[in-house]
Amino acid sequence: MNNNKLAADPLALILGILSLVLGIAGCCCYGLTAIIPLILAIIGLISANKSLKEYRLHPEVFSTQSANNVNSAKIINIIGIVINGFVFLISLVVIVFYGTMLSSNIFDEIRYEHNTTDEYYDYEMESETFDDFEEDKNFEEEKDSVNIDALLEEELEN
């Protein structure tokens, strides 16, 4: 029995642990960084599968402890793929949802502003004339003169 290690013995385990740690830290960043640990977990799973295939072809060359380590790394990488894939999909759905809501609000504002601006100016041009302005000015002057007279009367009474 030989004590040779499989090629992915330390590598697959390190990549699996890194993908879990970075995936948990990625949840704090709203899942935007979940793609990096997802890629690490996929690389770790591929290297673990290659090493396990090599072990199945030549079990007498490699130690069983190394095969067990690679098998554990394979499980950790699968867990990392599932968790990080789930976080990445949720963040992608949230980004698409908010992007759709934001773009629809922007387009609604543009449409609303364009329609109301045209109607407002058309209405303003049709409804206001110089005579209307003079009437409003006279009304304001009358209102002010009444208030001044009322104030003067109150001062005289006191």
pLDDT in tens, 25-64: 877 777 778 889 999 999 999 999 999 999 999 888 888 8
Cβ–Cβ < 8 Å for 9, 69: yes
Residues 155 and 143: their CA atoms lie apart, in Å, by: 19
- State what percent of residues in the chain have pLDDT above 90: 32
| 60: Cα separation from own chain's centroid | 51
Partners of 62 in beta bridges: 4
Structure tokens at 158: 């006191």
**117 or 29, greater pLDDT:** 29
- List phi, psi (to 5°) of 63: -80, 150
Residues 15 and 79: their CA atoms lie apart, in Å, by: 12
Q: What are the tens digits of pLDDT across the range 63-86?
A: 889 999 999 999 999 999 999 999
